[in-house]
Each structure stands twice: as structure tokens, then as C-alpha cells.
Structure 1
Amino acid sequence: MTEALVTLIDHDQLFSAALEALLDGSPFRIAATAPTVAAGVASLKHPPSPDIVIVAAALLDGGALPCLRAHTGARLVVLGSSSGGEPLAQALRGGADAYLDKGMSRESLIRALHLVALGEAVYPLSAAELLTTAAPSPPPAPTPPTADGGGMLSRRELQILQCLLAGQSNKAIARRLCITESTVKMHFKNVMRKIQAQNRTQAAVWAIQNGLSPDPP
């Protein structure tokens, strides 16, 4: 892949320097750093525009991720501890594209960033448990949920969401439903518009909250 520019928002200068060294020689280059979310938002107003914004979990609050999302179209990555806890929940609620462990190896980090750059959501397994725990009980009647905009989801769109909950890639979903990968992407685009989701993570949260369950392999 071509070089991807990264903006790093972290108050820990030593870790920022270590991360920059860790990414040296990879396609990901830290082009800007900021100690606070406010400073990070200010840096986004000046070129070059980043492809990925990485923000330390310690800097999260209820409005950090929505604020960043409002100022950039870059992929948002939260970097925290393996235990996750409340920062992981905030990353899910805020629609971050990934939640990565600060202690992961260089190879794992670069692989995860590759997936993020390709449009995939990257979360630890504990995120699925968190979603399930937070989800309300499904309604007694298995009626298709409707989106906020009033658009009823089609049977195929519901199947797409169930496959998403099962962690399947676009290619796997295409094989599962015997359709082309481009058709899967088209359905995803329609689903995102109907449920007003900005990424696959938000779509998964919406699906869980509306009583959908993963499609078994």
C-alpha cells in the first residue's frame, strides 16, 4: 500500500516517540502529534490531512470521538490497554474504527492498521461480549427493525447485518449469500444510510440493540 499519514493524539511524549520509531519503515508515518484532543482538532485544520487519527484511550470523554469525527474523514483508532473497560465502551459508543492494545507487537500493530486503512473495524473479542451485555432483550415478535429515517430494512440487508455480527468479511458474506462482493458493498452502503451509521462498528451496535443475532457459519 502507499504511505498513510497518521495524526497521533497522546499526552505521553515518550510513548509518542516510541510509537513513531515502531512505525518507522512501515507504510504508516506519523505526520503530526498533539497532546490533547483540542490540539488534535486544531491540527486537523491544516494540511496535510491524515488518513488515520490515533487517540490515546486516556484522553477519551463523552465528546472526544464525535468531535474528531466532525472535523475529519480519517479513520479513528483508539489506543488503550488490553483490558479495555470503559475506554473500550467509549470507543464503541463513539464509533471508532478500531480499538488497539498499546502493548501489541509491531507486526500486529501494522497488520491492524492495514485493516483499518482498508475500511475494516478492528476490535478485541471482549468488544462482542460488551455489546451483548449492553444490548436489551430482543422484542418478542421477530419483526424487521426500522431505521431512524423510517426506511424498512430488507430481508437481504438484515442478513448482511447478521453476517457482520458473525465477524464475516465482505468476501465471506458474498460466498455465504451467493452474491458478488460488489453487491455486498452496495447493501452495506444502503444499510449505513438507513440506520445512519458511519462505520461497521456503529452498524454492529445498532444491530445488537435491535435484537439481531449473528448468522452462524
Structure 2
Amino acid sequence: MQFDRLLSQTMTRITRAGQGLRKQAPADAVPLSAAMVKDDLRGSGSWANDWAKGRKASDPTPTAAPARTKRRPAAPAAAVDSIPEGTIRARPLMSTRDVKLHQWISDRLEAEAPTCALHAGVALGAFLVSAETRDGYDPLAGLVADLLISDDQGQPLVVLIRENRAHPARQILLLDALMDAGLPIVDIQPRPSLSALWSGIADHLPRD
């Protein structure tokens, strides 16, 4: 009887010890199932796909680089096909003093050189041509002769100019262009002597 009881207690201890070992067995000691073995034989790409599908919606997503905002090109200026009414007005072409001088020279031309004509406020681009005009650049732009005398063919003969104190740089360009073209220049003094002025003009007029 005592031997049977001792044997029974020993078997009970062994059984309990075995159950404890199974509970504490490491994960790598557990036999692999057929499905797990099959998964181990898959390629690395399949693991990446499973990982992408298995990501939780709550997982943080990589921060995308901010998209660059493209600036829209500036709209081309609308072509001016009309002028708003009431925005243009006339202004005097010459001062009263200049009108008197213009009339006096016209009378002398009619008497001594009737084939010539006198013009006022003529842009240099109307009777000069620049070889340097390119890509919208025109060295004659904005340059104006006070008075111009031309022959019966419209050929410029002599240019009369007055001092431009407001824009001395423009005055230099004006003189440079006229001298480069070989046109005679007569200065209009603030208080011109009519005889001296006409003498300078007459030297460049055609003689019949």
C-alpha cells in the first residue's frame, strides 16, 4: 500500500512538471504548422505586399514633400484697338515766340528759297535712319528737331535746334545724331539775332 501511494505521488509530480515545461517553452520550440512553413518559402516581395496591406489606418504616413506652386505667366497686355473718349487733348506745337520766329523764317524762305519748306517739331526718326536699330532698340527714339528745312524733294537741308536745359543728355544725343548724319546745325539762341540766324540758314540753302 505504501509503495502504491508513493508511486502515485511520484507520477503526479512528473505530470505537473511536464505541464509547467510546456507552458514555459519558448516560441521557437513550438512545431511549425504547414501554413507557416509554406509562408517561409515565399519570396521577399510577397512579405512587402503583406506588410503594405496589413498596415493600420492609424499608422503615421510619410510626410510628402510640399508641391511647388507654379506661378502663372503674366497675361499679355491687351492690344489697344481704341482710345477712350475724352482722354486726348491738343496742346500748342510752339510757344507764341516760336510761332513768330517760324513765320519770319517762312517769309524769308518764300522770298529767297521758294522751293524749300519749313517744318516744326520733327522727330529725328522721320528723316534719319539708324543702322543700330535692333530688337526694339532705336537710338533716335524721343529725339526731336525744333525746326527743319527741306528742299523740294523732301531732303533735309538744315536743322535748327535750341538748348534743352531740362534734358542735357538728350541734347547731346540729338547733336551727335545730326553730326553723324552730316546735317548742318543752326543754334536758336534764347534771344536770337534774326540777321545772324538767317546768315547761318542761308549758307545751306540751294542757290538758283
* TM-score between the two structures when normalised by the length of structure 1: 0.29
Q: Whose helix fraction is larger, Structure 1's or Structure 2's?
A: 1
